[in-house]
């Protein structure tokens, strides 16, 4: 009873903090950040490279998904998209002109090792060497993700991909190739992007590749088991990360002096009401959504909440596996966009990850459809909660950005306002002692978005899909970000216009 009361009081304190936390600072200068703090922009291979059928590349599970109508969610594919495969020099020059410290990219496993294991594709190897060298020559740090939801289709067909323990060996060998070939220039490696979302949307809900779910549960998948596969996939992802991290530390770190991290999508959470049920549900969602990965990395095992609810469907760590995963993360990459209210909802009619979590995640009233709400205090609350629960380990904001309709104005005031608020929040976080090392805008270019295709975009640069040359045009946000990065004085007219165009923020979180 005492523990429950303490939990309720703690959650209540978090809720009050979220409600009263002031807006982050408006006057910004890069000079106010530590000199080692990194500012960059992000993309991923399938979303910007194009050249999907060129130079030996073979399909990934995302190619298969896109060419099978994207689960009827949207139209389009990544066959051409921004064509960075051919236009990388132009793009890197734009990055340099903007003043980026770093560029977060991913390697297409299907381009480098088309069958998932075995023979290396020389054209793929050459492309990534060229891209990395181009970045280095312009003083831009490459931050590389190994798996951004695009597993080679060959491995999915052969043994089910991430549902099989065989993936651990194949992923480690793929990582070994990347460390060996690029590690003399790449110092920051992320093994898996948004692992929690990949497991939930790909293996429970079945709405994203590889579209596994229990029949008739959500998306009428042709294969899968929503009650077990999300947990099995996560277990294998954790083991694959641990194996790759151990390989790097034993074989490469002494020579290359790099770091191996991990990435999850984080969300702001607050109880819908002050009832004990909603407050307890909020902590449960924290454990299921964030602690699912962070607990094993920090403590070597899953949260007790999950173990009690999921029981035998949750894989158990052997002592050897626990030691492999624990402390294997040099840094955590965080992607942050949305915040939710949590309502307790105990379901008894079926068992899957969502039912196990026993909560509804609700958009607060007033959440706009076409724009991502600006809630920097909610991100700061997430960072504070991680520090309090797991310690003050190094963090990078790998993705954070504003959605707008793709063909909207180049004067993207919502995105400018968004960047100013969140970068100000980063300054507040650093000043408060949080171990935040960098901030990456999603995204550098208007890309093929994994949840909306070409309907919406997040880019600092507009890519004209009607132009055969796929010309890039800077948006106002690109100019604002460049001025900030180059420590130019902020245009007072821009600051006034930001305030004028400031849409109401959500007061319910």
DSSP string, 190-210: EEESSHHHHHHHHHTS-SSTT
Nearest-angstrom CA–CA distance, 332 and 393: 8
Q: Are 103 and 444 in contact (CB under 8 A)?
A: yes
What length is written for the chain? 509
DSSP3 helix / strand / coil % (the chain, rounded to 5) = 45, 15, 40
Is residue 394 scored above 50 in pLDDT?
yes
Nearest-angstrom CA–CA distance, 443 and 398: 10
Is residue 242 scored above 60 in pLDDT?
yes
Nearest-angstrom CA–CA distance, 342 and 283: 9
Q: What is the reported pLDDT for 408?
A: 87
Q: What is the reported pLDDT for 492?
A: 64
pLDDT band at 94 (very low <50, low <70, confident <90, very high): very high
Is residue 361 scored above 80 in pLDDT?
yes
**Segment 448-498, tens digit of pLDDT:** 998 899 999 999 999 999 999 999 999 999 999 999 999 877 666 666 665
**Segment 20-32, tens digit of pLDDT:** 344 454 568 899 9
Q: What is the reported pLDDT for 389?
A: 97
241-247 average pLDDT score: 98
**Segment 34-57, tens digit of pLDDT:** 999 999 999 999 999 999 999 999
Q: What is the reported pLDDT for 503?
A: 43
**Segment 425-444, tens digit of pLDDT:** 999 999 999 999 999 999 99
**Segment 142-153, tens digit of pLDDT:** 999 999 999 999
Architecture of domain 31-499 in this structure: Alpha-Beta Barrel (3.20)
**Segment 321-336, tens digit of pLDDT:** 999 999 999 999 999 9
pLDDT band at 348 (very low <50, low <70, confident <90, very high): low
Nearest-angstrom CA–CA distance, 283 and 138: 45
Is residue 290 scored above 60 in pLDDT?
yes
- Calculate the alpha carbon distances from 276 to 7, 102, 327, 359, 492 in Å: 10, 44, 34, 13, 47
351-357 average pLDDT score: 93
Least confident range of 73-87, 250-264, 267-281, 348-362: 348-362
What is the pairing mode between strands 38-42 and 102-106?
Answer: parallel
- E strand intervals along 384-425: 395-399, 404-405
The fraction of the chain above a pLDDT of 70, given in percent, is: 89
Q: What is the reported pLDDT for 350?
A: 76
The catalytic residues are: 194, 399
Q: Share the mean pLDDT of the chain.
A: 91
Q: What is the reported pLDDT for 11?
A: 46
Render 20-78 in DSSP notation, one character per residue: HPPPPPS---GGGS-TT-EEEEE--HHHH---TTSTT---BHHHHHHTTGGGGS----S
Q: Are 293 and 264 in contact (CB under 8 A)?
A: yes
Which has the closest alpha carbon to 66: 80, 54, 84, 56?
80
**Segment 248-268, tens digit of pLDDT:** 999 999 999 999 999 999 999
Q: What is the pTM of this model?
A: 0.92
> What are the extents of the domains in the chain?
31-499
The fraction of the chain above a pLDDT of 90, given in percent, is: 83
378-390 average pLDDT score: 96
């Amino acid at each position: 009873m005492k523990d429950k009361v303490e939990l309720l009081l703690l959650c209540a304190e978090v809720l009050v903090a979220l409600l009263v936390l002031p807006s982050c600072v408006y006057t910004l200068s890069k000079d106010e950040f530590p000199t080692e703090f990194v500012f960059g922009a992000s993309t991923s291979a399938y979303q910007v490279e194009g050249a999907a059928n060129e130079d030996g590349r073979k399909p990934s599970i995302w190619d298969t998904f896109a060419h099978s109508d994207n689960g009827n969610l949207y139209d389009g594919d990544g066959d051409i998209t921004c064509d960075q495969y051919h236009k990388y020099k132009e793009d890197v020059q734009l990055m340099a002109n903007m003043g980026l410290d770093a560029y977060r990219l991913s390697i297409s496993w299907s381009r480098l090792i088309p069958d998932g294991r075995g023979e290396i594709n020389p054209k793929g190897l050459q492309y990534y060497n060229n891209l990395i060298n181009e970045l280095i020559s312009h003083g831009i740090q490459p931050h590389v993700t190994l798996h951004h939801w695009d597993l080679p289709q060959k491995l999915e067909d052969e043994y089910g991909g991430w549902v099989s323990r065989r993936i651990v060996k194949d992923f480690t060998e793929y990582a070994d190739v990347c460390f060996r070939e690029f590690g003399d220039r790449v110092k920051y490696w992320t093994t898996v992007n948004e692992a929690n979302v990949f497991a939930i949307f790909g293996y429970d809900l079945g709405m994203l590749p590889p579209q596994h779910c229990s029949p008739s549960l959500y998306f009428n998948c042709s294969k899968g088991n929503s009650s077990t596969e999300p947990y099995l996939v996560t277990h294998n992802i954790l083991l694959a990360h641990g194996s790759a991290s151990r390989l790097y530390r034993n074989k490469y770190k002494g020579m290359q002096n790099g770091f191996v991290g991990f990435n999850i999508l984080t969300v702001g959470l607050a109880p819908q009401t002050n009832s004990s049920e909603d407050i307890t549900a909020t902590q449960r969602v924290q454990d299921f959504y964030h602690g699912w990965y962070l607990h094993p990395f920090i403590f070597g095992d899953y949260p007790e909440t999950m173990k009690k609810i999921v029981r035998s469907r949750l894989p158990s760590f052997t002592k050897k596996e626990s030691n492999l995963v624990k402390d294997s993360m040099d840094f955590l990459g965080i992607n942050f966009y949305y915040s939710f209210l949590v309502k307790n909802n105990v379901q008894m009619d079926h068992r899957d990850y969502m039912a196990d979590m026993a909560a509804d995640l609700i958009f607060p009233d007033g959440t706009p459809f076409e724009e991502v709400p600006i809630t920097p205090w909610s991100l700061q609350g997430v960072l504070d909660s991680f520090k309090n629960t797991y310690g003050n380990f190094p963090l990078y904001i790998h993705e954070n950005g504003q959605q707008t309709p793709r063909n909207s104005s180049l004067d993207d005031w919502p995105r400018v306002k968004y960047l100013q608020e969140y970068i100000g929040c980063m300054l507040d976080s650093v000043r408060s002692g949080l171990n935040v090392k960098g901030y990456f805008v999603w995204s550098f270019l208007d890309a093929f978005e994994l949840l909306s295709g070409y309907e919406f975009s997040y880019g600092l640069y507009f890519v004209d899909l009607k132009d055969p040359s796929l010309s890039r045009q800077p948006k106002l946000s690109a100019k604002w970000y460049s001025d900030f990065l180059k420590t130019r004085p902020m245009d007072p007219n821009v600051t006034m216009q930001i305030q004028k165009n400031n849409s109401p923020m959500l007061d319910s979180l």
